[in-house]
Amino acid sequence: MDEKKARMRELVELLDRAGRAYYQEAREIMSNYEYDKLYDELLGLERETGMTLSGSPTARVGYEVLSELPKERHERPMLSLDKTKEVEDLKEWVGEHRTLLSWKLDGLTIVLTYREGRLFKAVTRGNGEVGEVITNNARVFQNIPLKIPYQGELILRGEAVIGYREFERINGEIEDVDARYKNPRNLCSGSVRQLNNEITARRKVNFFAFSLVSAADVDFADSHEREFLWLRDQGFEVVEYQVVTAENLEDTVRWFSEHISEHDFPSDGLVAVYDDISYGRSLGRTSKFPRDSMAFKWADEIRETRLKEIEWSPSRTGLINPVAIFEPVELEGTTVSRASVHNISILKALELGIGDVIEVYKANMIIPQIAGNQTRSGTVEIPGVCPVCGGSTEIRKVNDAESLYCTNSECEAKKIKSFTLMVSRDALNIEGLSEATLEKFIARGFIHEPADVFRLKRYREELVTLEGFGEKSYENLMANVEKARNTTLAKVIYSLGIPNIGLAGAKLICRHFDDQVDELLKAEPEELAAIDRVGEVIAGSFVSYFQDEGKKQRFLNLLSELTLVQEERAEEAQQTLKGKVFVITGSLNHFSNRKELQELIEQKGGKVTGSVTGKTDYLINNDTASGSSKNKKAKELGVPIISEEEFLTL
Return the active site residues.
Answer: 104
Q: Which residues contact 543 (CB under 8 A, 6 or more apart)?
A: 523, 524, 525, 528
Q: Which residues contact 193 (CB under 8 A, 6 or more apart)?
A: 67, 69, 108, 124, 132, 134, 137
Cβ contact 150:138 at 8 Å: no
DSSP characters over 364-418: TTTEEEEEEESS----PPPPSB-TTT--BEEEEEETTEEEEEE--TT-HHHHHHH
Alpha helices in 530-626, H assignment, sequence order? 535-547, 549-559, 567-573, 594-603
CA-CA distance, 338 to 256, in Å (whole number)? Answer: 26
CA-CA distance, 127 to 311, in Å (whole number)? Answer: 39
Closest by CA to 494, choosing from 418, 553, 411, 566, is 418
Closest by CA to 181, choosing from 202, 198, 160, 164, is 164
Residue type, 176: D
Q: What angle do CA 18, 210, 262 make, to 5 degrees?
A: 75
Q: What angle do CA 291, 294, 289 make, to 5 degrees?
A: 45
Exposed (0-12), middle (13-18) or buried (19+): which is 415, by Cβ within 10 Å? buried
Closest by CA to 162, choosing from 133, 127, 135, 200, is 200
SS3 317: coil
Alpha helices in 156-292, H assignment, sequence order? 164-172, 184-192, 197-202, 224-233, 249-259, 277-282
Cβ contact 78:157 at 8 Å: yes
Closest by CA to 425, choosing from 141, 172, 212, is 172
- How far does CA 498 lie from the centroid of its chain? 21
CA-CA distance, 255 to 270, in Å (whole number)? Answer: 12
Q: How many CA atoms lie within 13 A of 297 on its CB side?
A: 14
DSSP characters over 474-496: HHHHHHHHHHHTEE-HHHHHHHT
Torsion of CA 497, 502, 508, 510, to 10 degrees: 20
Exposed (0-12), middle (13-18) or buried (19+): which is 217, by Cβ within 10 Å? exposed
CA-CA distance, 525 to 369, in Å (whole number)? Answer: 40
In the beta sheet, which residues pair with residue 293?
273
CA-CA distance, 424 to 497, in Å (whole number)? Answer: 11
CA-CA distance, 36 to 349, in Å (whole number)? Answer: 16
Exposed (0-12), middle (13-18) or buried (19+): which is 550, by Cβ within 10 Å? exposed
